[in-house]
Chain A
């Protein structure tokens, strides 16, 4: 009995300690969700529980809907551009030989080496000169460029993991290279596409400094900037309630996506390690 109870005691005290640590990590998110609907002086939700903070957010300047639309447009375009460019690029790098191939691949990876801010200053000037200043399309193009090192690398190794005979036999059967890509190879590299798309979405949805520099029009800013702006809006007094509501709306899609895809995400990391 005593030999049984000692490990049991050790296990349960370990559980209490580690459980408390887990709660410490979860606390900020849970608190934000609760506080955003809880009564709090100095916010739009003073008496009783309710959605007052969300209502204030909905009516702030251009309105929550407008900022959500901006964020969805920016993220959507970034995901589509990234998927198309990296799908074609990965295909080219994995299955074709062409002059300048290695140079182009290295140049793509070199994007990682240059700090964000170093590129955003000339990009501000460049976008102005090609008429894309203050535009969601311009911002999405820039965010796509920042995604390319990871996306191109990911799609290249995805295509290289597909047995070469699959593509070759399609070419011999008379498929053009583009038909072979669409009909045979896209289904084979789907996991890679999902990962690339997910990363592009999260990066674009959450990005702060690129829209801060590239978008001047306050009606065109994405949600993170809008929530950051609303804080000091009411006569210089910080509206914490609206901030909490904004954080909940910002975090919700990310947390949901993470929980749905965490197996995929964690396993991807782990299997990558085994290969490396």
Chain B
């Protein structure tokens, strides 16, 4: 709507930029400053608007259209076919196993990760040189990418000659070849270990922020009332830490539900398709053999919808408890 006005402004401001701020009559523009700045606002926001439109809004519309069309990876758009893609996506042999596995992985990861992060945060919360060394050690893994961390553990998990396999055989468990990724359960727990290693420090940092917000007076009052350390933790620290814990839970659940890199690198969904997550299934349908972008689009829209519902539920549940 601002386009007719915007164009002269664009030209003018471009001219001014190249000419530099000359002394010639700049002050005379002062009364028009507000109007000019109004349009210049759009000019500065234009790159953002362009990016958001081309790489976000149009793709969202496109994925909706794709989910309603027969759309092959190489064949392209072959016309409207709704609701075939949706029934096909839900009817996939691996759909329900993938949903179940993703939920199971999310629950396990969230509980362990937040438990470990809380323990670490309690351990290092006091300001001391030794604690800052500990904090740094716990945080270094979060500098790595998830793919790098997965590749690193892939080597650590080497069944023959890998350090973990040697350690276990040294302890008399296994005979030198231990398979960390070979059975469904081992693969799940081995992947959870990577995630805990990579993210514990990050969530520790978020919880430390919350711990710092708790005034020492509250602890003092509890101690005067004769509470022991466990009682203080349960009745003082945990309730006051709830906002930070809620943030961590939401981040962790959302991230785990969308897990991809770690499973793509460590297990490829194996053994026997036992570690296929929903996003891995989307990828496999789109690019890993079936080459059906329409069904993949439908499935990924189902994921988007489920995620919105889950987040709304989480927000209302957490807000409800805060009151």
Per the bound structure, the CA–CA distance linking A250 and B208 in Å amounts to 29
Contact B2 A32, beta carbon cutoff 8 Å: no
How many Å from the CB of B172 to the closest CB on chain A? 21
Nearest B residue to A15 via CB reads B130
Segment touching B, from A44-52, A61-69, A167-175: A167-175
Q: Which A residues lie within 8 Å of B283 (CB)? A: 117, 209, 212-213
Segment touching A, from B34-42, B98-106, B226-234: B34-42
Contact B152 A247, beta carbon cutoff 8 Å: yes
How many Å from the CB of A237 to the closest CB on chain B? 11
Q: Is A224 at the interface (CB under 8 A from chain B)?
A: yes
Per the bound structure, the CA–CA distance linking A127 and B50 in Å amounts to 15
Q: Is B161 at the interface (CB under 8 A from chain A)?
A: yes
Task: Say yes or no: A247-B151 contact (C-beta < 8 A), given A98-B45, A122-B59.
Answer: yes
How many Å from the CB of B284 to the closest CB on chain A? 11
Neighbour of B51 across the interface among A25, A145, A269, CB < 8 A: A145
Neighbour of A125 across the interface among B40, B42, B66, CB < 8 A: B66
Segment touching B, from A1-9, A86-94, A189-197: A86-94
Per the bound structure, the CA–CA distance linking A142 and B134 in Å amounts to 37
Interface residue tally for chain A (C-beta within 8 Å): 95
Q: Is B308 at the interface (CB under 8 A from chain A)?
A: yes
Nearest A residue to B294 via CB reads A121
Contact B13 A177, beta carbon cutoff 8 Å: yes
Nearest A residue to B304 via CB reads A118
Q: Is A235 at the interface (CB under 8 A from chain B)?
A: no
Nearest B residue to A206 via CB reads B145
Q: Is A236 at the interface (CB under 8 A from chain B)?
A: no
How many Å from the CB of A109 to the closest CB on chain B? 10
Per the bound structure, the CA–CA distance linking A269 and B247 in Å amounts to 14
Nearest A residue to B119 via CB reads A21
Contact bitstring A206-225, B, C-beta under 8 A = 1, else 0: 11110011000000000010
Neighbour of B258 across the interface among A84, A116, A124, A172, CB < 8 A: A116
Q: Is A137 at the interface (CB under 8 A from chain B)?
A: no
Task: Say yes or no: A118-B140 contact (C-beta < 8 A), given A32-B152, A99-B1.
Answer: no
Q: Is A257 at the interface (CB under 8 A from chain B)?
A: yes
Q: Which B residues lie within 8 Å of A208 (CB)? A: 145-147, 260-261, 264-265
Task: Say yes or no: A125-B304 contact (C-beta < 8 A), given A228-B151, A255-B144.
Answer: no
A28-B141, A104-B49, A110-B56 known; 14 other A-B pairs, CB under 8 Å? Answer: A40-B161, A41-B161, A92-B41, A93-B45, A99-B2, A108-B52, A115-B304, A117-B279, A117-B303, A126-B54, A202-B145, A207-B145, A240-B162, A273-B209
11 A-B pairs whose Cβ atoms sit less than 8 Å apart in the complex: A26-B137, A91-B44, A96-B40, A98-B39, A107-B52, A115-B307, A179-B16, A213-B287, A228-B265, A250-B144, A257-B143
The 3 closest A-B pairs by CB, nearest first: A206-B145, A96-B41, A174-B26
